[in-house]
Amino acid sequence: MPDATQRALQMAEERRAIEEESAHNAALPTVVASQLPSPARQAILDDKRRYKALAKADLLDLYLNWQRKYGATVSQKEAFIHAYQGGAWSKLLTELGPRISWKSLERWKLEQKKAGSVLALADARGLAHRGKSMLTEQHRSIILGQVMDGDRQISTCVRIIQARCQAENIAIPSEDTIRRWVSDYSRVSFQNWTLFRKGEKAWNDDCALSILRDWSLVDVGDIVIADGHTLNFETINPETGKPCRMTLLLYFDGASRYPLGWEVMATENTQCIASAFRRACIRLGKFPRVVYLDNGKAFRSRFFKGCPDFEQAGFLGLYRDLGCAVIHAWPYHGQSKPIERFFGTMHELEELTPSYTGWNIDHKPARLQRNEKLHRRLHEKLGRGPLTLEETHYWLAAWFEMYAARPQTRTHLKGKTPGEVFLDGRGPGVDVDRLTLMMLQKEIRTISKDGIRMFGRLYWSEELSNRRHPVLVRYDLQLSPYTVLVYDLEGNKICEARDREHYKIACGIHPAASVLGTEEQRRDLSEALALTKSQAREAKSGIKGFVEGIIVPEVRQSQQIAKAPQSIPAEKKVAALSPKDKAVIEAAKAQALLEQDDSVYQPSMLRRWPDEPSRYAYIWDVRYEQNVELVPEDAAFMDAFEQTPQYQNNYKSLYDTKLELRNFRRNQCAAAG
């Protein structure tokens, strides 16, 4: 068989073997591969080197065919090279390049003939020492001991490693050698490298196996996820008047990926959570079955400073009263909450706002960089600036609607929009009055002639004019900052009191409005005087009705009885008391005065108190020290005061200790008896 035919068959067999075994990274049968030197065997495992070797074999085959046709003289060999470089075989020229001489082709011919395989032409440069290192086991131990300390940079570790090697009288590796070994180690021991160098959070994000959940198994409203996000644009704080990055607290439906209710928090407090949850329930049309919260330390310290946990804040009881189960996300597992991905998508809204601040320090706008006066002036001339709180709510609502109308093809929605899925599973509606009542905070206050004082404001209503007793006040400063609901201590609603300053109820009157005031100020004075006169008329009409309806009929009846003839019994003479009887009576009076002290229980509303803690201390002694049953008003005040932050922060530990001491003494007395 001619040599050309043998070479063609050999190349065909090797090409077929490469195509069949390429998926398994084995380009040659074992017999052929074993005939190649070690660098060549490594080269054929590289796809780029392997296919370039086959291109060389093709060019070499063309070269040998040229010699058989035109001769093997030097001029013909050079003519072949000129034809190749001129583009006679453009595909091979593109792959191998023009820098090939006929002497290279002669060398390839000898290498292929000696190895018996076209893959002997694979480029093995740089492979002879691949995987070899001058580092010994002692070197590796020293390197690991330094670089696995996450507090040090690699450059610092390199200097310490080299000093250690010099001290131990072993070869000192170069910085490149150390860095190359560290890079290889970080790839083959990625989990150890990540855990020791970056910590558990990084290990969880980059190494831990993800648990893939199927959100199509739940219905709309089954799971509602709550989390906070610091907005990457500025809003004017209504309390200070200064721009700041506020916190968005959002409730997010897990089944439909629909944003339900939210609150923009100027200051961190649990009342904002309650307000956002109320809006979420109204939007959802039913109460969620499960509320998914992030109750980790990072969340509490970031959004609720000073709040040890939601249980002590009295917040979880709110969900349980509405029939909602509460579960918490794993600490440091942000990927377990789909709402985190939603916040990433929401970044496009933040970029569109005129007060965008960037999502980290490396992506701040130019106007926020130091000495960028031109960009600041341009920002001001374009009329851009921080949003108001109302504008922030409008921007969020508009973008949420846009998001709800986007089809989602990569999630469990399978091409549907969040809005479509949400509307299909939305509830019939909730009892807003019951929900509002349960969400409101409560405090005990006493009515004065000017109304009820709370938060430095006076709340007043006509229904309170004739009352002077403690009441239960329910309020929500986020929902309605200028009105409060007033109930008696039995839970009966009295009225809705309004902020006097906000509604101009005999408040903010000019001291000399009739002389120095404007028309509006004189009108305010007239309305205040009219309100006072109407109160007087109502009081007088009440007295008139009381006199005509009760007092006058009783007087008339008594006069008629007095006119009737009656036999007046003779006045009995009272015997004078003896000195002994007078002494007994005086002793009894003295004894009664001694017994009449503060130990006799009187309802607290009948006494005057300097503050609420003093009143609570009196009621506590009556209940636990004297073992006297409290009247309903005192019991209600005691329960309400124990829920206040003032009691939780300042008095709870004191009274808990006193109660334990009291129980201990009683147990000792019982054991001794």
Local confidence band at 598 (pLDDT 50, 70, 90 cut-offs)? very low
Residue with tokens 């004075």: 525
What average pLDDT does the segment 156-179 reach?
A: 92
d(CA 511, CA 574): 66
599-605: long-range contacts, CB 8 A cutoff, minimum separation 24: 599/626, 601/626, 601/628, 603/631, 603/633, 603/634, 604/633, 604/634, 604/637, 605/469, 605/470, 605/633, 605/634
What three-state secondary structure class fits 279?
helix
d(CA 655, CA 640): 15
**What pLDDT digit, counting tens, does each position of 287-335 carry?**
899 888 876 554 454 444 445 555 444 455 566 667 788 887 776 666 6
**The predicted structure's pLDDT at residue 673:** 60
Q: For residue 500, what are its two tokens?
A: 């006097």
Direct distance between the N- and C-terminal alpha carbons of the chain, in angstroms, rounded to an integer? 122
What three-state secondary structure class fits 387?
strand
Local confidence band at 568 (pLDDT 50, 70, 90 cut-offs)? very low
What three-state secondary structure class fits 212?
coil
Local confidence band at 166 (pLDDT 50, 70, 90 cut-offs)? very high
What three-state secondary structure class fits 319?
helix
**What pLDDT digit, counting tens, does each position of 427-436 carry?**
988 887 777 6
Q: For residue 275, what are its two tokens?
A: 């307000």
Task: Break the chain down into helix, strand, coil percent, rounded to 5.
Answer: 55, 10, 35
d(CA 296, CA 409): 32
d(CA 502, CA 46): 79
Listed ranges 133-137, 259-263, 574-578; the one with the highest mean pLDDT: 259-263
Burial of 582 (0-12, 13-18, 19+ CB in 10 A): exposed
DSSP class of residue 235? E
Local confidence band at 13 (pLDDT 50, 70, 90 cut-offs)? low
Question: The whole model's pTM is what?
Answer: 0.52
What three-state secondary structure class fits 449?
coil
Under CATH, which number does the domain 215-425 receive? 3.30.420.10
**What pLDDT digit, counting tens, does each position of 229-261 carry?**
889 888 988 878 888 888 888 999 999 999 998
CB-based contact 315:438 (threshold 8 Å): no
Record: fold of 440-503 = SH3 type barrels. (2.30.30)
Helices 389-404 & 418-425, crossing angle to 10 degrees? 90
Is pLDDT of 127 > 70? Answer: no
CB-based contact 259:344 (threshold 8 Å): no
Starting at the earlier edge strand, list the strands of the sheet with 290-293. Answer: 259-265, 247-253, 223-230, 290-293, 325-328
Biggest alpha carbon–alpha carbon distance for the chain: 171
**What pLDDT digit, counting tens, does each position of 45-71 carry?**
567 777 788 888 888 888 888 988 888
Contacts (Cβ under 8 Å, ≥6 apart) of 498: 459, 460, 461, 482, 483, 505
**The predicted structure's pLDDT at residue 312:** 45
| Residue among 486, 444, 441 at smallest CA distance from 635 | 444
Would the CATH topology of 215-425 be identical to that of 440-503? no
Domain ranges of the chain: 3-121, 137-206, 215-425, 440-503, 508-535, 604-672
Higher pLDDT, 18 or 265: 265
d(CA 581, CA 527): 67
CB-based contact 233:243 (threshold 8 Å): no
CB-based contact 220:425 (threshold 8 Å): yes
The bridge status of strand 290-293 relative to strand 223-230 is parallel
Is pLDDT of 640 > 80? Answer: yes
| Residue among 360, 340, 356 at smallest CA distance from 348 | 356
Contacts (Cβ under 8 Å, ≥6 apart) of 330: 336
Q: For residue 654, what are its two tokens?
A: 């004191």
Q: For residue 332, what are its two tokens?
A: 């440091």
**What pLDDT digit, counting tens, does each position of 376-398 carry?**
777 777 777 788 888 888 889 99
d(CA 522, CA 510): 8
Residue type, 10: Q
**What pLDDT digit, counting tens, does each position of 148-165 carry?**
877 788 899 999 999 999
What stretches of 2-98 show up as alpha helix (H) in DSSP?
Answer: 3-21, 30-34, 38-43, 47-70, 74-85, 90-96
**Least reliable range by pLDDT among 109-113, 596-600, 666-670:** 596-600
**The predicted structure's pLDDT at residue 38:** 54
d(CA 25, CA 27): 6
Burial 521-544 (b: 16+ CB within 10 A, else e): bbebbeebeeeeeeeeeeeeeeee
